[in-house]
Amino acid sequence: QTNADCLAGDGINDTITIPAGTITLTADLPQITVPVVIDGAGMGQTIIDGDGLHVTLSASANTLDPIFNVTFQDMKIIGYNSRAIYTDNVNVIIKNIEIEGQAGVGGEGIETMADRADPTSIEIENVYIHNMDVTGFFRVLVVNEASIGEINAILKNITIADIHSTGQGSLFGVM
């Protein structure tokens, strides 16, 4: 972690470094509400496993809070519940991320959203989403401007492979 003067971080220039290995969640990760960089050791080296039950990475600012910057990079996410990565009203960089094997009724691989007048920026680069087998709807990658929002998005080198949806529901790619 950086900003060693405050163990919990100060929400200005914080970095959380996750070492190589698999972290299996026993509860949802808390929603991020301050600027932060979450940095793994690499796509195949740092693995966050939601165990099929838990929310993995999410960041959100309500419509009255200032927009802040969040980076998720260099990790793999498996077994998540609902969404592997979700952001709402934040500037986000999602880089060098692998998302694999979400099980369940449906959800999203990555969803970014903006529903306020201030513009947000989204940069998604080197992302591999694959081996999904769901029984309901599944949206692989959603960049969603809701009503008054404005999003400036850059999407680079995104690979989507082996996505399956059975039963009632829909299967979407990049939206």
DSSP state of 4: T
- Cα separation, 105 vs 30, in Å, equals 22
In eight-state DSSP terms, residue 31 is P
- In the chain, the DSSP E strands lie at 15-17, 21-24, 36-39, 46-54, 57-60, 69-80, 83-88, 91-100, 103-104, 107-114, 119-134, 138-145, 150-165, 171-174
Cα atoms found within 13 Å of the Cα of residue 70, Cβ hemisphere only: 25
Tens digit of each residue's pLDDT (9 = 90 or more) over 109-122: 898 988 877 888 99
pLDDT category at 175 given cuts 50, 70, 90 is: low
- Mean of pLDDT values over 136-140: 77
Place of tokens 């694959």: 130
Predicted TM-score (pTM) of this structure: 0.88
Above pLDDT 70, what percent of the chain? 85
DSSP label at residue 94: E
Q: What's residue 66's pLDDT?
A: 82
Query: Which residue matches tokens 């969603």?
Result: 144
Average pLDDT, the chain: 85
Compute and round to an integer the Cα radius of gyration of the chain.
16
CB 34 within 8 A of CB 14: yes
The answer on pLDDT for 97 being more than 80 is yes
Percent of the chain with pLDDT over 90: 50
Are the C-beta atoms of residues 96 and 85 closer than 8 Å to each other? no
Confidence bin at 172 (pLDDT 50/70/90): low
Tokens of 106: 């449906």
Can you give the pLDDT at residue 47?
97
Report the candidate in 84, 79, 34, 88 with the shortest Cα–Cα distance to residue 56: 84
The answer, yes or no, to whether residue 104 has pLDDT greater than 80, is no
At 1 the pLDDT is 40
Cα–Cα nearest to 99, from 54, 134, 137, 49: 49
